[in-house]
Structure 1
Amino acid sequence: MIPTKEEMYAALEERHGKELQKKLNDASVAVCGLGGLGSNIAVALARAGVGRLHILDFDKVDISNLNRQQYFAEQLGMSKTDALYDTLKRIAPYCDIRKDCIKLNEDNIPELLADADIIVEAFDKAEQKAMLVNCVLENMPEKYLVSGSGMAGIAPSNMITTKRVTKRFYICGDGVSDVEDGMGLVSSRVLICAGHQAHAVIRIIAGEFDI
């Protein structure tokens, strides 16, 4: 039996406290890219009780995704937006989730992400990352932006950090590793970086800012 909205909110409030949970409930976060980073970030934010999530990707679930992304074998072939939407609704049935199966570009980013308080960059490819980061910084300077850079291989976990680059721009990762350099993407290390990004979002919502 699914708990009521009031019961679920009360459970989160007990964990986080009234003040923080209200801030989380009132927040709006866009997650751009729903692969190893984005799917795990979205799950963490849904579990934390973020009130509005906007998930965006144009890809479909592939068997190669199952080692590190929040998808299941029976979801193969589904759009990632549809598959993750179903999972998030099972976790947080009262979360206001908007999904867009679309490829982001410089022309559609300002309109698609206009309603988000915080934008999360979670793309796989360097050129996509740079495009989104540059577009947001240049055209939407009032937005908070949390990006990921460097989480490949099996290097030590503590190499992954969160850095505040500017007042509203954060980068999480080791800053050096690349999927082309060796082993590729391992679920545990990708999850660590995703956790850094999700936690950076939660700290921003809470009004706690890294130096």
Structure 2
Amino acid sequence: MKVYVNGKIKEISSKSTLFSIKEEIKKDADVVVYNGFIMKKNIYLKDGDRVVLIKKGELPSKEEMEAQLVARHTPKVHEKIKKVSVGVAGLGGLGSNAAVSLARIGIGRLLLVDFDVVEPSNLNRQQYFVKHIGMKKTDALKEIISWCNPFVKVETLDTFIDESNVVDIFKDVDMIIEAFDNPVSKAVLTNAVLTKMKDKKIVAASGMAGYFSSNTICTTKINDRFYLVGDRENGAQPGNGLMSPRVSIAANHEANAVLRIIMNEK
């Protein structure tokens, strides 16, 4: 029978076990993942099983990295994820967090768009670090993504999005995450997608400021192409600032909405 070991097909006997494969192929592996789960006990393998052998601290090859994603996500899920391209409009608290989550699940391609640089006030909620202060957000986030998944295709565009360029910028992506602070920019992007880009879906955000309950942040399907994330009440204003816990929750709602759309979840 056949099993997959670190992404490669291997012929085995009906008496082969998880640990016998480990001893044969990667004796020094610290972690054994069996069909998406870390296993501590030995079991007999079945036809079609997927095994990933990992040595802690060792940088995997592209093939091994993909095998690990497949092992965690299951083949059906991963095959869909890696074919999708997502544009992220704005790389602040929403966009930077959502982009990293999508990179971690192995999204096929990310288009990162922003015109700003990293400043100290960003560090309370955005994915950047002190070393990135002064860097273009596009460059800084591309570097961060390379640290967690160097095999995701990342393209960047350092520009301000307005009515004159929005359609051209996002013409080649499947979905768009709206992650602006500016309400005018939010409206420009959302209106352009819904009226001029009939083949695109957009996930937008409204209301995630302050320290109110996390449970009030939710994802609402407005129509088949427009999904809105947030509590739709608590916008940033004096006395009600943007802080990491709620912003990150909203950002990951956006990333998860993208994943649900990819998987055709209703």
Cα displacement string for residues 47-93 of structure 1 (whole angstroms, at most 9, x for unaligned residues): 01101000000000000000000001011000000000001111111
Are residues 161 and 181 of structure 1, via their aligned partners in 2, closer, same or farther at CA, if it must alter by over 3 Å?
farther
* Residue 148 (1) aligns with residue 205 (2): yes
Q: Pairwise CA RMSD of aligned residues?
A: 0.9
> Following superposition of structure 1 onto structure 2, how do residues 28-47 of structure 1 map, counting pairs within 5 Å?
28-47=85-104
TM-score for the superposition, normalised by structure 1: 0.97
* Residue 3 (1) aligns with residue 60 (2): yes
Distance 1:52 1:148 in 2: 22
AA at the equivalent of 1:64? S
Deviation of the 1:125 alpha carbon = 1.4
| Structure with larger RCO (C-alpha < 8 A, sep 6+) | 1
Return 175-184 or 128-137, whichever deviates more.
175-184
Distance 1:139 1:183 in 2: 35
AA at the equivalent of 1:69? Q
SS at match of 2:256: helix
**Number of corresponding residues:** 209
CA contact (8 A) 2:88 2:176 kept: yes
Distance 2:98 2:264 in 1: 19
CA contact (8 A) 2:194 2:225 kept: no
5+ residue gaps, structure 1, are none
* Residue 87 (1) aligns with residue 159 (2): no
Runs of 4+ in 1 over 4 A off after TM superposition: none
SS at match of 1:133: helix
- From the two aligned structures, give the one with the greater helix fraction: 1
- Aligned partner of 2:74 in structure 1 is 17
Larger Rg: 2
Distance 1:5 1:207 in 2: 27
AA at the equivalent of 2:181? D
> Following superposition of structure 1 onto structure 2, how do residues 1-211 of structure 1 map, counting pairs within 5 Å?
1-180=58-237, 182-209=239-266
5+ residue gaps, structure 2, are 1-57
Distance 1:17 1:100 in 2: 32
Deviation of the 1:127 alpha carbon = 1.2
